[in-house]
Amino acid sequence: MPANTDDLRAKTDDQLTTDLGDLKREQFNLRFQSATGQLERPARIKEVRRQIARIKTLKTQRSAAEKA
């Protein structure tokens, strides 16, 4: 389910904020599952963390472009 950077760039700021919230909720749930030993795909934690970083980076770039 990871979206590539081009897919993210096509989204609006509101869509990115919504996606970021969803990913943070998923990250919390994955951490909880990991702590209780119920995690089925440990690699998903890394995927979610990187996707969050991609969205944050894109939002930072957009805000810097607005200020410039």
Both structure tokens of 36: 């209780």
Q: Is 21 helix (H, G, I), strand (E, B) or coil?
A: helix
Could you tell me which CATH class the domain 5-67 is placed in? mainly alpha
Give me the count of residues in the chain: 68
Can you give the pLDDT at residue 40?
Answer: 95
Can you give the pLDDT at residue 22?
Answer: 98
pTM over 0.75: yes
Q: Is 27 helix (H, G, I), strand (E, B) or coil?
A: helix
Can you give the pLDDT at residue 34?
Answer: 97
Using alpha carbons, select from 20, 26, 24 the residue that is nearest to residue 57: 20
Distance of CA 31 to the CA centre of its chain: 15
Q: Where are the domains of the chain?
A: 5-67
**pLDDT tens-place string over residues 6-63:** 999 999 999 999 999 999 999 999 999 999 999 999 999 999 999 999 999 999 999 9
